[in-house]
Amino acid sequence: MDMRYLRYFIVVADELNFTRAAERLHTAQPSLSVQIRKLETDIGAELFLREGRGVSLTDAGRVFLDRARQMLADMDRSVALVRQAAKGEFGHLSIGYDAPAEFRVFPNIVPAFRKKWPDVHLSFHNLKNSQQLEGLRRETLDLGFVFLPIAKDEFDVEELAKVPLVVALPAGHRLESAVSIAIEDLSHEPLILFPRSLDPETYDQIEQLFVAAGAAMNVVLETATFLSGINFVSMGTGCSFLGDYARRVNWPGVIYKPLKPQLVKTVAIIKKKRRGDLVEAFYRFTVDNVRRGELRERPARRRTLTASSS
């Protein structure tokens, strides 16, 4: 059924006069009469009683008027939703992330995105790099927040934040009073790490630091989440290497120390190339907001240094 017929019918039903209805619709009255006849033929019922110059609704017409208004309202809502989706303003996004993004990126991005696009539903999945890459390839995830490096020939990649690793020590540890922790200080110390299978890049980097320092790497426990790592450190099970965001978790019995030499990880947002408008909207919104945040911070830092030097 042509939706124009419904609009014509509703205007005629409102006016109960073909001439006035034609004027409202900016069409000729004979043409409007023809369109209404076609609608009645399509439906198989007479909608109007023609009484001289005026008309009145039949019982079928009164029933159809309610349905016609509802169908047009549904159509208008559907068109609005489609237009929102085309502009990235409506829909659902499935997002992979690890702890660094949750602490370093999301606070500045997610509330602002939700405010701008309240009709977009976001679902978050706490996953390691390898799991996120698999989800993106299978398209069970739309976007991911991962540690670099990532192959840029397969994904769109934008750097977002630098995350230095720190050493988490149990309270009362022999190194508790140290200003910073050198790798050789941790030789033979019981260590709590993520499994190599979940984060091979970071595992290999830590291992290379031990090799370069001539220190013995003694991994006694592997855990899949940074909160589990903090918990096991607090039990005195061993020491761990965690992103500096872990300091925000005020966990009793855990002390954080800078690592020397420093090991810095880079967090990035990634997606498969040539994804839909909604995915592109979140990706670009995140990158643009992070860059604006960096520009806001830099002048403040310069002013602080100038004031200090004077």
Which are the contacts of 200, defined by CB distance < 8 A and separation ≥ 6? Answer: 130
pLDDT in tens, 245-270: 999 888 999 999 999 999 999 999 99
State which amino acid sits at residue 30: P
What is the model's pLDDT at position 282?
Answer: 93
Q: Would you state the structure tokens that stand for residue 246, as one six-digit string? A: 């872990």
Task: Tell me the average pLDDT across 13-25.
Answer: 89
- Where in the chain do CATH 3.40.190.10 domains reside? 91-160+266-309, 163-265
Question: Percent of the chain scored above 70 by pLDDT?
Answer: 89
- Where in the chain do CATH 1.10.10.10 domains reside? 3-86
CA–CA dist 165, 146 (Å, integer): 15
Angle of helix 59-86 versus helix 3-15 axis, rounded to 10: 130
CA pseudo-torsion sign 104, 250, 177, 210? negative
CB 130 within 8 A of CB 201: no
What is the model's pLDDT at position 128?
Answer: 87
What is the model's pLDDT at position 101?
Answer: 93
Mode of pairing for the β-strands spanning 264-272 and 190-193? unpaired
What is the model's pLDDT at position 264?
Answer: 95
Task: Tell me the average pLDDT across 9-34.
Answer: 89
Task: Tell me the average pLDDT across 172-178.
Answer: 96
Statement: residue 308 has pLDDT above 70: no
Statement: residue 271 has pLDDT above 70: yes
Q: Would you state the structure tokens that stand for residue 294, as one six-digit string? A: 């960096």
Q: Which CATH code fits 163-265?
A: 3.40.190.10
Statement: residue 20 has pLDDT above 70: yes
Statement: residue 294 has pLDDT above 80: no
Mean pLDDT over the full length of the chain: 87
CA–CA dist 181, 166 (Å, integer): 9
Q: Which CATH class is domain 91-160+266-309?
A: alpha beta
What is the model's pLDDT at position 6?
Answer: 87
pTM higher than 0.75, yes or no? no
For residue 132, CA distances in Å to 125, 240, 272 come to: 9, 23, 11
Please tell us whether the domain made up of 3-86 is placed in CATH 1.10.10.10. yes
Statement: residue 309 has pLDDT above 50: no
- pLDDT higher at 52 or 158: 158
What is the model's pLDDT at position 307?
Answer: 35
